[in-house]
Amino acid sequence: MNKNFKIALISLIAVILGIILEQTIINFFRIHGLSILNNPALSNAILEIVVMVIPCLIVKKFSNQKLNLRLIGITFHGQMKNIFFGMAVVFADIMVLYLTFWGMKFMSFKGLGFEFYTGSEVIKSVLSVFLIAIFAGICEEIFFRGVLLNYLSKAKGNLLALILSSIIFTIFHTSRYHDFLMLISVFIMAIVLGYSFIYTNSLCLGIGIHFAVDFFTNLVSLNEPNLFIINLSNKLNSYSFEKIFICGIVIIMIFIFMLIFGVKKIRGENEYELKETR
């Protein structure tokens, strides 16, 4: 068996077993009264750390040396700006979507959360959203793109690796998204994140995008403490709003990335051809 494929396969199996073990232990302590584990941010952080640490240890074992961050797609030189670029693109997407929904009278802005809930409730909610988003953005990108996509692409090529890793990413999210249309959106999101890794050879852009999607989309709620409170029109319920919103983000991101990377690629090819003719 190809070494790179073996790393990807063993990492996947080990992560699945690790998640099962982690959930079993968490549930055991919850049953026996350890209420702190009922905190969604904490329980999610533990899960994400398991998802990140296990494949890193496997990569380290197969490399027979100290874990080099480049082995899992983490490069900081000239790439840090891509984290903020990814966040900016997602933020712009979300603003466009909210303005569109507002213009179509699908929703209305009710006010800031501080107007309806105590300051501590709102801050606690925002902090929880931030922690969940930052752990998901870093840990999931390291596993799904830095290890799975990275090593599958070395063994099977970029296209097959991109499709396989995106399918696995989608399957891992079936516990949260049960609707077929939403799972398709998750798959497309995985394709975008995977392509950003292949294009930049770094996780930084994907981390920025992943964090921003999870963070900015969860700062809004209907009737729970959060930073922004909105009302939906009678045309929508909360479930259909979430579906439309997620699909909208994915569609806009695809067009933006096609435009940005397409233009850069054309420019790069043109510059190369120009140099060759001189």
Tell me if 125 is assigned to some domain. yes
In tens digits, the chain (278 residues) has pLDDT values of: 789 999 999 999 999 999 999 999 888 887 877 776 677 888 889 999 999 999 999 999 988 777 788 888 887 776 778 888 889 888 888 888 888 878 777 788 888 988 888 989 999 999 999 999 999 999 999 999 999 999 999 999 999 999 999 999 999 999 887 778 788 888 988 998 998 898 888 899 899 999 998 999 889 888 788 888 888 777 666 556 666 666 666 666 666 665 556 545 434 443 433 344 33
pLDDT at 189: 87
For the whole model, what pTM was predicted? Answer: 0.84
- Does residue 65 form part of some domain? no
The answer as to whether 20 is a domain residue is no
Neighbours of 216 (CB within 10 A): 19
Residue 250 lies in a domain: yes
Question: Has residue 220 been placed in a domain?
Answer: yes
The count of domains in the chain is 1
**Whole-angstrom Cα distance, residue 128 to residue 125?**
5
Give residue 274's pLDDT: 34
Task: Write down the H helix ranges in the chain.
Answer: 3-31, 40-63, 80-103, 119-135, 141, 150-156, 158-172, 180-200, 204-216, 238-277
